[in-house]
Amino acid sequence: MSRRLSKRCNTGSSEIASSCRRGGRRAPPPAPVEEEEELLTLMRMRCQRANMVYGLSQPMLDAEPEVAIGDGKLARKYSEIYNNIRALGFDSKFHLGDAVNVTLVKEFYANWQPEASLDAVYEVQVWGKVIPFSSQVINRIMGFTEHSHKLFQRFLRRPDYPAIHRLLGGADSSVAWARDANEFHKNMKKSTCQRPAKVVLWLINAKIMPTQSDTDVPRLKVCLIYALLTRMRVDLGKLMLEHMARVRPLGARRLYYPSMITRLLRAHHVEEEFHYDWTIPMTYLIKAYDVTLVIDPPDTALLFADLSLCVARGETDLEELQQDHPLSAITQQWLGLARGGHLPPDEDVNSIPSDDEEYLRTLEGADD
């Protein structure tokens, strides 16, 4: 009995007939002619050149402005948070931002050399024009009410940990701090916070201190959440200025507050060039050194001896130092202000670990 041929087979062509059999392969397509290859290469080169010329001749513009926060929905669902922000004078964060010129923003960051001080006044030269820049300029151009920042800085150095625990997580919450090697409260998990704290954190990450990750809430943002929930006065201009200084250490992967910078430069009538030929180098800020973080006993002894000498000369006021920078028990013992002792466990102090305390006691016994 003869096998019936498949309808898909063409018995007139041996190549196609072989492809119908099991295990067969289709014939490869014919190779392009050399003239066609040269034509395709020429077309690719022209497209690349056209894209390059178009990029140089057109300004780097982002026509879409920064997205605004829905203040109506926030006022309905979380009226207390909305009223706190309005009472502090930060309600302009809900407004729609201006269009962004990325070229101007990059030029500004390329010529700005940030410092560690939040009270510094800068003069940034952008295409021949000197632009004054400081935290006061940020407050003015953003429409913020300027407050004293000293109270928030003191709260940041020594927060009220029981109050933060009750407000952010509730009385029976499992909210807890993650500490570093020096027993310094470093960050807190977002998942353990209550809904109002998460709403304020979303507002902070979107408008005040933009970030891409919010799983771990750092110490600064935890204190800022508490400040916004309790109407504590804070200078947002200084916080934004400190956040802008992270552009260089991050390698300019993100340019913070582009709408604000574009508005500032346009207010000074800076010419919007079409070509950008600067790079933003990676540099790291020289921050103030906290002597209470030193845990090496010999280095600690030298630092505190130098501090005691400054106190004897009248160059340092210990009362102001204690008020602005709360000293740990070991630090007070070194300076002769107290006999030392153990502070409550809910307070955050940069104290020397217990093994070094035993080492110091052995040194005191040797001196006796």
Report the length, in residues, of the chain: 368
262 versus 310: the higher-pLDDT residue is 262
CA distances from 75 to 78, 147, 150 (A): 6, 24, 29
Please, which residues bridge with residue 101 across strands? Answer: 61
pLDDT band at 15 (very low <50, low <70, confident <90, very high): very low
- Contact, 233 vs 152, CB < 8 A? yes
Residue pair 348/158 in contact by the 8 Å Cβ criterion: yes
Instruction: Flag whether pLDDT at 318 surpasses 60.
Output: yes
Q: How many other C-beta atoms are found inside a 10 Å radius of the C-beta of residue 261? A: 27
Q: Hey, what are 101's tokens?
A: 């010129």
Q: Given this model, what pLDDT does residue 20 score?
A: 47
Decide which of 40 and 264 is more confident. 264
- Residue 34's pLDDT is 62
Per-domain residue ranges for the chain?
Answer: 71-298, 300-335
> In Å, what is the CA distance from 253 to each residue of 96, 207, 263?
24, 18, 21
DSSP letter at 309 equals H
The pLDDT assigned to 167 comes to 85
Neighbour-count burial of 133, counting CB atoms closer than 10 A to its CB (0-12 exposed, 13-18 middle, 19+ buried): buried
* Cβ atoms 292, 324 nearer than 8 A: no
pLDDT > 70? residue 4: no
278 to each of 6, 250, 308, how far by Cα in Å?
68, 17, 48
Backbone angles phi, psi at 179, to 5 degrees: -105, 155
The secondary structure of 8-19 as a DSSP string is: T--TT-HHHHHH
Instruction: Please tell me the pTM assigned to this model.
Output: 0.59
Which carries the bigger pLDDT value, residue 113 or residue 48? 113
DSSP single-letter state for residue 190: G
Mean pLDDT score, 18-36 = 56
Under the banding of pLDDT at 50, 70 and 90, the label for residue 347 is: very low
pLDDT in tens, 236-256: 889 888 888 888 766 556 788
* pLDDT tens per residue across span 158-182: 888 888 888 888 777 677 777 766 6
